[in-house]
Each structure stands twice: as C-alpha cells, then as structure tokens.
Chain A
Amino acid sequence: MFSFIKKYTETMQGISFYPIFSLLVFVGFFVGVLWYVKIMDKKEVDTLKNLPLE
C-alpha cells in the first residue's frame, strides 16, 4: 500500500532524526503552553471562568 514511502523508510540513513525531532517538538510545545499559562492576565481568566454562569 505505502510502497512509495516504504522504499525510502526501509533504507534511509539517519532515520532516527525523526523521532528525536518529534520529542523536541513535544517538549517544546508543552513548555510553551506552561509558559503562556503562567503569564496569563488574571482578569481575562476570571471572565473566561464565568462564561457558563452568565
């Protein structure tokens, strides 16, 4: 089915780059999320929290 991709993934050198890159993306994304949550403005948070109660 995937014979085109297969041809390359079976033989390419340095394929381990991909999982390492993925790990970095994952860690980076969540560090980013944590950082932005840290610097969020309190007033905005309170507005959002109360949306169901309006």
Chain B
Amino acid sequence: MNALRQMLWKEFRENLLWAALIAAAFGIALAYGWSKLQDPYNHYAYHSFMWETLLVISRFGGPIAGLALGFLQTIPEWSRDRWAYLIHRPISPGRIFLAKAAAGITLYLLATGVPYAVLCWTATRPGALAAPVYLELSLAGWMNLLGGLPFYFGAMLTTLREARWTGSRGWGLLAALAAIASSTMTTAGMEAFRLAGFTLAIACAAAGAFLAHSGNGAPRWWFKTGLALTLLWGAWGLLFLLSLLAQMARPQSEHAYTENAIHLDGRPVQVTARRGSPSQIIDEMGGAVEISKEAAGRSELWRVPEGYFAPSRIDVPFFENITRNYHRQIWNKLDQLESVGSTIWYFSTLENKLLAYDRFTRQRVAEGGPDGISRPPDAPAMPFPGFYTRNYYAALQFRTGVYAVDFYKETITPILETSGPEQSAYEGSAVVKKRYDAPFENLRIFTVMNGVLTIQSPDAQPVLVKDLPKLDKKYQLHEVAYHYDLERAYAFYGLNWNTPSKDRKTLPTYIWEADLKTGTDRLIRMPPIDNSREEKHWTDSLLYLVLQPWEKVWNPASLWFKAKFLEPAYLPVWERRWNTRHQQLYRELRQAAWTGLAAALAACGWITFHGGIRKPRAWVAPALVFATGVPGLLALLAWKTWKAPAVPTHPPAPDGTEIFTLAAKDR
C-alpha cells in the first residue's frame, strides 16, 4: 500500500503543475463564456447551460485536457532509462499503471471539473442568468468532460503501443473520436454508459501496452479484447472522417425530388426540384406550369410551409428525452422581443410550465400553465398535463392536449384536450399555419383527431371542422397547409413507405382542398410520385459496405419489423424517406449478401493461413467480420500474435576465433 501511495504521490507531484495550467486555461475559457451569458443582448445567452459556446468549450476542452495529460504522463517516461527505472521495482507493473491512471484521471477531473463545478454553482445563484437553471442542464457539459477520458487513455496507448506501422499507433485517438461521436445524441445515462465502455476498452489496451514493456508475461485476453475494440472503433472513426471528406469533396447530387404543393394562385401543383430549385412544375392534369420568379422566390407558398408528421410512439420519446433538450426556448418569442419588452419566455420540460425571465434583473417574473399566466404575488401556475411534445409558433402540443399561447395578451387557450390516455394526442396532430408577417389573430391551428380535421383560431374559435376523406390503407396523411390569401385549407396524402415501387409509378397521390369561405371541399387526384430514382453515390455505398455489412441487413429488417408490428402509418419521417422502396431494399440486401460473403471468405482465408483461432471457435470469425465489416477483420488481427520476422535458425558458424574456456552448459 505504501508503494502504491508513493507511486501516486510521484504522479501527482510530476503532473500537478500541468493540471493547474489546464485548469487555468479551462477556467479562463469558461469565464469568457460566462461573461457572454451575462450580456442581456446576447440572444444565445438564453440557452443557459445549453449555450453552444459553453458546450464547445467543454466539448473540445475535455479531449484536449485528456490528450495533454495522457501524453505528459507517458512520453517523458518512455525514454529508455527512465522507463527502466520506472518498471524495475518490486511492485506489479499493473499497479504502477493503476497508480498512473488513478492520478491522471483525478488530475483530469480536478483540472476540468472544478472550474466547471464553479460555473454551475455560480449559475444556480438567484439572478445569475435570465433563464431557467437546473443542475440537470449541466449534464451535457459533464458528459463532454467525461468525453476527455477516452482521449486520455488514447494518448497513453499512442505513446506506449509498439506497432509495425507507426501511424497505426494513432488509432487509439481515432477510437476516442469515435467514442464521443457515437455518444452525443443520446440520453445522459446512455452517454455515460457508452463513454465508460469506450474508456474501459481503450484503457485495457493502454494497460496492456504498458505491461508489454515490463516483462509481465504474454498479453492477457482483456488486453487483446481492448485493443481489438480500439482498433475497430479507430477504423470506424477513420472511415467516418473519410466519408465526411468524400461528401464535402464530391459535387452536389443532381437528384430530383418531387412533391405536391399549392401554387401562389391556389392551384394544386406537383413540383420537381433539383438542388432545392424548382426545375419542373405540373398541374393536376400533368400540364406544365410556368415557373415564375415569384413562385421560385416564395417557396414557402408553393411548397408546404410547415410540414408536420404525426408523432409516433417510436420517435417522440427518443427525440424529446435527450439530455441536450431539457428545456427549449420558444423561438418565435425571440422574434418579438421588442414588443414584449424585457421579458423572455421559456418552456421548461422539467416543470412542465412556461417561464418568463426579465433579461435585465435576471429574475423569474411570470409562469404559464393550462390555467393561464400568473405573475407574483399570484399563485404559481399549474403545470401542463402530460408530456410536452413540441411547439409550433405559439401552440404548445402535449400528448394529451394542445394550447395556444398569446404572449401579448398573456392568455393561454386550450385548443384540444383529450379525455385520457385512450384518446391521446398520439392519434392527432397539431399544426400551426402562419405566415411570418401575419398577426397573431391570423394564426390557424390544425388538429386531426379520429379522421376529423379541425382548424381553429388562437382563441379556440372553430374556423373549419371537416371529415377528412377516407382513402385506401395504402395512403396516409402527410401534411396540411393553409393559404391565407384564398382562405383555403389543404391536406396532402401520399403512399405509405412500404408501398412497392411498381405501385408508386402508377398510383395517384391526392390533395384535399377545403374552401373556408364557401365551406366546400374536394379531393384532387394528382399524378403519381416516385422518388425512388435516387442512387447513392458509389463512395457512400463503398464506405457503408466496408464499414458495416450487417447494417445492410439490419436496417431493412428493422423497418420491416416496425411496419409489420408497430405503427406503419406513423413511422418517423427520416426512416420513411431513408429507405422507401422495396427495390432499393432488395438491392441493399443483395449488396449485403455479397459483402458479407466476401468478408466471411476473407476471415476464413485468414484463419486458414495463419491459424490464429482454434477450430471450434473459428466460425465466430466470419460472423464477426460479417457484422463489423473490414474494420472487424483488422481488429481480429489484434487477437493474433503477429509472426516475428524471420530469425536465423542457427548462429553463424564458428570461424575458430571464438574463446570459450568456461563451461557454459548448452551454449
């Protein structure tokens, strides 16, 4: 124990100064960020802890600090005499590494954590920020700081690992990059879990590299596992970077995308756009429509101004519960700051309330709930019922209701309130249609419930209540739109994602139009839409195949499963657009089969020629490679001890000049 304490003391003593410098640099950066948060005219300051600059400081600060400490703790030791002095002591090298890592992690957490903790403490002081502050908001920053640990061990691994090719040492750092890249878009708990997994694997690899130079016997299984995972993630990280570079380097796709829309003059049209600009517009009969400058310039009118897809059980919990979204600002209020004076409104998902802060005094000045807006000394507002799902302009949508908020008159009006879980807002959708320059009164709120479309004004007066047409189950409601000048409402119907490609070429699409002035409605048959012509760029396909053949099977399979057993009508938009055609699905399956076969053959060949894995387990290798692609094959090599270069089997023949007068047995 005394020896371990001495090692810890030595590590602390040697690196304390560096840690202090890192803490100072990090503290200065955070202080700069804090000074900006205090600025009442800095719009971004109202993100509180979620302010990008603060997150960027911790996002980059953590890895840089981790890298610095990792290198500083190993590079000086790596000189050969110093290494010998470090290793040759009667204590297991594992404990030496443990002391080093424990001291390094402690110093890292102190150097980065203390300044950040001071920032958090300061922010929770009353009147510190003109925004809601919850400690949960700091989780994103803490996770960013945890993201420095893979870099710490990655730096150690880079220094300590002997590799045939020097460049491959850096794969520890690429693996660390992959760690933070793959951990960001998830919940705090999952992010911590993933980072811990990555850190553990890279730490095992670094510890194994440390032990490899300390005469500690053959490499252990945990070292090989850690190294294999590190190499795998490193390869993924590298290929991910390459794919980004390839995307940036190649010319923009010429792919044309077709969708139904409403022309400025109210005609239903079908617009084909390339690179975001309309290249062809046809009417319901297929006749060409002139592309006027006005139409091209005011795309918000001839294209659907605010598309909205009904939330599904699949996407809502995922997108709404991520750590980086604990509260979100009501963006449209920022546009109207002038007219509401110094008050800034927020919606807090933790309190399920609207909260108002004064930008100068930085104090909470009002709260809003289903019972209206209250200001002190009134009783605090009631929280909204159920989960908040999203807001559009001034309509707040919950799973059990929709509310319109007028921030000028400080009123909150229920637009839709469901009776309970059996009639939840899952089944409906609220869409606010409003031109950017229209007054609040002109706002129209759409709700779809049990096949009935209701359009209401912000004071909950019904403008239109109509049964939507019942179409074949192949169709689903995609979007609704509102034309203010003509006072017409529209509903856009398209084919479900799982409609076969051959049907897409022949089946028509529909636009439902309701005239609010006359109260009449009609269903307009539009030409078929088939966007399945999109071909992936070959570099994308290649990288995808190289990276993860299994994905080619997994993604279509998961879509099929969701469509079959979950909610085909409510699949999230990104999935629906990502892979909408059976034809593409079959093509991807075919590619997967070929790639998987090639990868499996490569693995079998490797096993045959090198004999790295015993026969009973040999089948695991092709399966692993099929699941993980070419990087998996590379990582697999880490399990095997590389063949040493050819060594002379006999010493050079004696030439008679040797002097051996002492008995050296077996010499």
Partners in one complex: no
* A residues neighboring B (CB under 8 Å): none
